[in-house]
A and B are shown apart, each in its own frame.
Chain A
């Protein structure tokens, strides 16, 4: 009995980054997904399906960037759609009134949204929880009201039409069955996703999560709440603004609808339905919700009702969203496979 009993549970090596997928695995998965998406236009020929996919990509960029501040940062930022709207209007006004090159305006949309995000961070630095929701919500409304009240420049509630689109040398983007726009949107999503994933895996991202999980402790360890919040919001703003600018270039118009509650609700449900603080969850959910929404186009007024019901059910049953659902399903399969093996 004095002999040491061999431990029943084998001691595993401590993982380098606990709870994370090794980056090589993630990169392979990412490349496969990218390849599949990039080949889609060869299979899908009709412009309508391509249009739906372009919208999926735009929503995915906005939702996944929102996830950075909402999920990872734990900042209840409800003004994210305003950053998208700022991108829309920055692009439209710069190309239409100033006559800036569309590609430069696309980039400028991102920069201006980032500046706006930094500005909105200032009033929320001292705030917590629900107050952040209210101020950021107020910020979104403020931007919308400014756009409406300056109708001489922004077109007010009528919006702006005939916004210049993007161009590619002599290639006619309007008559190519949305071929070029598809790849630009995909490129935007890829760039944004790589940026977000690298950000959240970095030391900086770990700091953002640390502040979310235990603010007092993180601050006592010398982390700056002010700096981190500003970085988080600014980082989540750039691609959102660019997505807005791209949206304006693609739709060739700008309207105040982008600031409205309905779009914000849809995108917010993408973030939460996918599972907050995953990035990929938001992208998967934007795909699911957009395609699902389009598939139910015949249902008319029932469509938003079914979507709303779906959101409620998922939130009640799977608090960690679709990614939680996938993980649970994967776990169940893994257990079964081990048993049979």
Chain B
């Protein structure tokens, strides 16, 4: 019994961390720019591959991982500048950005396939080794993810709430016109939001690449889960999806334990649709749009 509890608790924390890392980026882009980035999953994949490539050319992991995250930030900025910013002001921007980011995602995905090939690769773990906690065998890599994620998310929260730059981003999210009026560089802040989101996705990719084989299509499933998470949490905030990510992590772990692997996605989507029927704006969302 205690083993079952530990199993679910650990699985929930671990999955929740990954989902939170992905979903926060999606929510960040949505709140500041008001678009949905459907290439988010591909950015995650790219993060893992860039890290792998950096290690391949001889960098140690402690240098390769942060560098890959920085590179991904640049990719995010570039993506924003090429397929999102030119479309701002169009009446059907939400829809058009969905298709342009999907197309950009397909471009990157097939590019990765051509460049790195379909053969599976793996990143080194953050920390190697295993441990047994509460009767459940876990790897230290997974423990590291569980510990690091809240730290990163806490740092993001501090950034958004305590720094001038973060406050500027929140201002853009709240009222774009007023931000223009007080002299904020809205375009640069858009780029920053996209860059941070892409970096977080890249980090998630490095996390996943450390315990599972990487492939060019590895981003689609986490993207899907991140989408569910933001629906649960409400896309209009950044903290909502974080709570929702852990909630879904636990839900999934419990479903896996009691109903088996096959039924988990079905149950998840059924619950998602039910929740939206009752609370269309998500369970943790207030009705206004704003960051943090």
**A residues in contact (CB < 8 Å) with B:** 70, 76, 122-123, 126-131, 133-135, 137-139, 141-142, 145-146, 148-149, 261-262, 265, 268-269, 272, 276, 301-302, 304-305, 307-309, 311-312, 315-316, 319
Contact indicator B94/A76 (Cβ below 8 Å): yes
- How far, in Å, is B59 (CB) from chain A's closest CB? 27
- Indicate whether A304 sits within 8 Å of B110 (C-beta atoms), given known contacts A70-B95, A133-B36, A149-B262: yes
CB-based nearest A residue for B99: A272
- Indicate whether A268 sits within 8 Å of B280 (C-beta atoms), given known contacts A138-B272, A261-B220, A302-B114: no
Interface size classification for chain B: 35 or more
> B252-283 interface mask toward A, CB cutoff 8 Å, 1 = contact, 0 = none?
00000000001101100110111011001100
Can you name 15 A-B residue pairings with CB atoms under 8 Å?
Answer: A133-B36, A135-B231, A135-B272, A137-B227, A141-B224, A149-B263, A149-B266, A262-B106, A268-B102, A272-B96, A301-B113, A304-B110, A309-B103, A316-B87, A319-B90
A319 CB contacts on chain B under 8 angstroms: 87, 90, 92, 96
A-B contacts besides A134-B227, A305-B106, 4 pairs, CB < 8 Å:
A134-B276, A135-B273, A141-B265, A265-B103
B83 interfacial by beta-carbon distance below 8 Å: yes
- Indicate whether A312 sits within 8 Å of B272 (C-beta atoms), given known contacts A142-B266, A305-B110: no
B150 interfacial by beta-carbon distance below 8 Å: no
CB-based nearest A residue for B41: A261
B110 CB contacts on chain A under 8 angstroms: 301-302, 304-305, 308
Contact indicator A315/B100 (Cβ below 8 Å): yes
- How far, in Å, is A257 (CB) from chain B's closest CB? 13
The 5 closest A-B pairs by CB, nearest first: A142-B269, A308-B103, A308-B107, A311-B103, A145-B266
- Indicate whether A138 sits within 8 Å of B103 (C-beta atoms), given known contacts A130-B30, A305-B111: no
A interface secondary structure, majority: helix
- How far, in Å, is A268 (CB) from chain B's closest CB? 6
B83 CB contacts on chain A under 8 angstroms: 312, 316
A262 CB contacts on chain B under 8 angstroms: 106
B9 interfacial by beta-carbon distance below 8 Å: no
A70 CB contacts on chain B under 8 angstroms: 95
B192 interfacial by beta-carbon distance below 8 Å: no
- How far, in Å, is A208 (CB) from chain B's closest CB? 16
B235 interfacial by beta-carbon distance below 8 Å: yes
B146 interfacial by beta-carbon distance below 8 Å: no
Most chain A beta carbons < 10 A, residue from B87, B98, B235, B273: B273
B13 interfacial by beta-carbon distance below 8 Å: no
Contact indicator B273/A139 (Cβ below 8 Å): yes
